[in-house]
Amino acid sequence: MDKRDALIRLSGLKAGGDRSPPDLEVRGLSLAYPDNENALREISLAIPAGKITSVIGPSGCGKSTLLRCFNRMNDLIEGAEYTGSILLEGQNILARDTDVTLLRRRIGMVFQRPNPFPKSIYENVAYGPRIGGIRRKRQLDAIVEHSLRSAALWDEVADRLYESALTLSLGQQQRLVIARTIAIEPEILLLDEPASSLDPISTLRIEELIYELKHSYTIIIVTHNMQQAARVSDMTAFMHLGRLVEFDRTDTIFTNPSRRETEDYITGRYG
């Protein structure tokens, strides 16, 4: 048994290869806010399991709004009203009786700016599992190491686990946040512009990490950076004015899109 397998067993985490990430299907989803009736309009798409799906589009097109629907973050906005459904393994996660806390365990989210807790590196990662009831130090240690390894950060922080997370570089902080998200064993990862505040090298590290993680998770990434979408994703969705304009294999979207709006956006033309 290699070290990774031992860590997985000790931590109680499921090995990425041992589980199948779930499908996520959006059906006729619309979202209205009091000041924007058409934040999302009749969106339908099937997000494939174990793949990376990018959502691209101009500012204000609704891509982050769509992402936030997947773990009900829009509930925090007063007066937000959904129609349609989002099916996770056949269950509508927009239903009133959905346990949102449990949903957010299953669907983790990483934001644009890294937001580590003002605690040690170790505590950032151990926080979630501890809240989830894991108390044994040995098990927490294993989870922290496994999560940091999965986030490609272990080698850089192994000898400073008890230092403040705020001493890390921005790129390291973002990988720490990903490790923190992984530690609670989500099945789906939502990444909202995860590299937009990072330098090019840190961006490449995050992209490499995303590629590694896709074997274990269904990943949805919102990005302004079209080249990033082209580099990392298997599928790409193009949104405009709250509508889904086109959803196809990334290769197709970037070489021969079928809709004129998509062509105009990715080639930098006037609409």
Partner 1 sequence: MEYRGYTQHISRQFNDELEAIKNDLLEMGGMVERQIGMAADGLLLRDSALAEQAIDVDRSVNAMEISIDRQCGNIIARRQPAASDLRLIISIARVTTDLERIGDEASKVAKMAIKRAQESDTSATSRYFAQITEHVTGMLRSALDAFARLDTREAIKVVLSDKTIDADYQVALGDMKDQMRHNPHCIDAALDYTWALRSLERIGDHASNIAEQVIYLTEGIDVRHKSVDELSQLLDSVRASGAHAH
Where does this chain touch partner 1 (CB under 8 A) — which range of 88-96, 100-108, 204-212, 261-269?
261-269
Nearest distance from residue 238's CB to partner 1, in Å? 11
Helix (H, G, I), strand (E, B) or coil at 33: strand
User: Are the CB atoms for 88 and 106 separated by under 8 Å?
Assistant: yes
Nearest distance from residue 196's CB to partner 1, in Å? 17
Residue span 169-208 as binding mask against partner 1, x where in contact by CB under 8 A, dash where not: ----------------------------------------
Residue 115 interacting with partner 1 (CB under 8 A): no
Residue 269 interacting with partner 1 (CB under 8 A): yes
Nearest distance from residue 254's CB to partner 1, in Å? 5
Residue span 220-249 as binding mask against partner 1, x where in contact by CB under 8 A, dash where not: ------xx--x-------------------
Helix (H) or strand (E) holding 40: strand 36-47
| Other Cβ atoms within 10 Å of 149 Cβ, number | 17
The nearer residue to partner 1, 95 or 270, going by C-beta atoms, is 270
Nearest distance from residue 232's CB to partner 1, in Å? 14
Q: Transcribe 147-188 into DSSP letters.
A: HHHHTT-HHHHGGGTTSBGGGS-HHHHHHHHHHHHHTT--SE
Residue 259 interacting with partner 1 (CB under 8 A): yes
Relative to beta strand 235-240, strand 52-56 is parallel
Count the site residues for partner 1 by CB under 8 A: 18
* Token duo for residue 226: 């079209």
* Token duo for residue 10: 């000790």
Residue 21 to residues 53, 142, 217, 246, Cα–Cα distance (Å): 13, 22, 5, 24
Tell me the Cα Rg of the chain.
19
Q: How many Å apart are CA 81 and CA 75, to the nearest integer? A: 9
Q: How many Å apart are CA 85 and CA 261, to the nearest integer? A: 26
Residue 75 interacting with partner 1 (CB under 8 A): no
Residue 141 interacting with partner 1 (CB under 8 A): no
Where does this chain touch partner 1 (CB under 8 A) — which range of 79-87, 97-105, 157-165, 260-268?
260-268
Residues that bind partner 1 (CB under 8 A): 226-227, 230, 253-260, 262-263, 266-270
